[in-house]
Amino acid sequence: MPLSHISNNFRLRNLFILFRKEFTFVAFALFLLFAFTFFTRSNPHSHSHDEFHSNSILIPFTPLTNFKQIGALCLDGSAPGYHFQKGFGSGSHNWLLHVEGGGWCNSIASCSYRKMTALGSSKYMDTSVPFSGILSSVPSQNPDFFNWNKVKMRYCDGASFAGHPESEQKGSGLFFRGQIIWEAIMNELLSIGMSKAKQALLSGCSAGGLATLIHCDNFRQLLPKEATVKCLADAGFFLDEKDIIGNSTMRSFYHDVVQLQGVEKSLHKECLAKLEPSKCLFPSEILKNVKTPVFLVHPAYDFWQIHNILVPQGSDPRRRWKKCRLNIHSCDANLIRTLDSFRSSLLKTVNEFQQRKDIGMFIDSCFIHCQTWMGETWHSPTSPKIKDKTIAESVADWFFDRQVVNLIDCPYPCNPTCHNMDFSRV
């Protein structure tokens, strides 16, 4: 076994132990990053990791200009930023933005922990990263967007780019500037050419997918009226569902995030007039008020939501879910029925949006989380497919108005093309 593979296994194992011992949304976000590294290098169903990155160019981190003067600060006060690759040829006037994910922090303690990581400070971020999946510049891996101007927005505020400084607590050493970071990065991108965009797609994964929904209409308003502008949320459709012992764990968590970081000011006023602010942070409510076309890429057996919404830490004292949470193939018939019920809740929630022609969907039956930022799941010979379409092909059909796209997979285990995460090997 290569040394690098052993190292990744060791790092993932240690982080997984941390995750099981004392879970936080931040720890799990970090665990997720290592998990996908492990997955792409070790999953026998996937292509070689090297195959998808051999042609990748490392894209340098660009810290935000004048970040201190405008008050755009990561949780620890460091510079937020992004990675930018200039478009070329027919894509030189088109823009694709991808918002990084990584959970949220809901308390002074969890935000203080987070600011010591790449999810709260640019001091810990990679100085250069490869672009893959939806950000790839390889035509065979990203046929419709490969030559666009591409931006990866780094996530360091802990509230889906929606926090406000009025909520900062003196002496905490924390800065809640998500909304300011969003506005500052948008202004900088507009100044380097995005103001002349002919086509633009705002995308994001997980908490970045939620940020995409929150800011989708604002993104549309920033660009020329004649431009085609749409949004894509990948694994960002978080459900307001009770866990297996009847607690509203996710709603309680969102309540704390909203209260701590003043997120209410970034949410739709129409929703706030009717509902409690934390309820308005759920995508099912946000999407009711979004006027810009949106595409949802979502696994019906989203392992992040299974781990944190359906079966969060402390909800399974008898450890009936222990093996199932690690590998869906280890779930017995009773547990699969519970997972299928969770899937049904997702389908029921998105059903009202299926009537809107501007909303597209690719909901597969895979045990995974984000799928657009990896070449293996975005577009490859072995990518997940529904009706013989990859995610990339489905998104492109919708974006370029080739056809209405509402692809809903059959229940697990019907889809043999799924890339299912397996944490039992950690």
> Among the options 46, 78, 206, 383, which is catalytic?
206
What does the alpha-carbon distance between residue 351 and residue 349 come to, in Å, rounded to a whole number?
6
pLDDT (tens place) for every residue of the chain, 426 residues total = 333 333 333 334 433 433 433 344 555 554 454 444 444 433 434 444 434 444 568 999 999 999 999 999 999 999 999 999 999 999 999 999 999 999 999 999 999 999 999 999 999 999 999 999 999 999 999 999 999 999 999 999 999 999 999 999 999 999 999 999 999 999 999 999 999 999 999 999 999 999 999 999 999 999 999 999 999 999 999 999 999 999 999 999 999 999 999 999 999 999 999 999 999 999 999 999 999 999 999 999 999 999 999 999 999 999 999 999 999 999 999 999 999 999 999 999 999 899 898 999 999 999 999 999 999 999 999 999 999 999 999 999 999 999 999 999 999 999 999 999 999 876
Residues 168 and 176: beta-carbon distance below 8 Å:
yes
Q: Which of 83, 369, 379, 419 is catalytic?
A: 369
Q: Coil, helix or strand for 32? A: helix
Active site residue 369: yes
42 is catalytic: no
Q: With contact defined as beta carbons under 8 Å apart, do 178 and 123 qualify?
A: no
Q: Which of 302, 364, 397, 409 is catalytic?
A: 302
Using CA atoms, how far apart are residues 302 and 234, in angstroms rounded to an integer? 11
Handedness of CA 389, 393, 395, 396 (dihedral sign): negative
pTM of this structure = 0.90
Is 112 in the active site?
A: no
Taking 3-state DSSP, the helix, strand and coil percentages for the chain, each rounded to the nearest 5, stand at: 45, 15, 45
Alpha-carbon distance of 159 to 351, in angstroms, equals 27
Cβ atoms of residues 410 and 349 within 8 Å: no
Cα(174)–Cα(165) distance, integer angstroms: 10
Please give the order of strands across the beta sheet that includes 199-205. 128-130, 58-63, 81-85, 149-153, 94-99, 199-205, 228-234, 294-299, 359-364, 406-408
Question: Is the alpha carbon torsion for 236, 106, 153, 94 positive or negative?
Answer: positive
Cβ–Cβ < 8 Å for 110, 26: yes
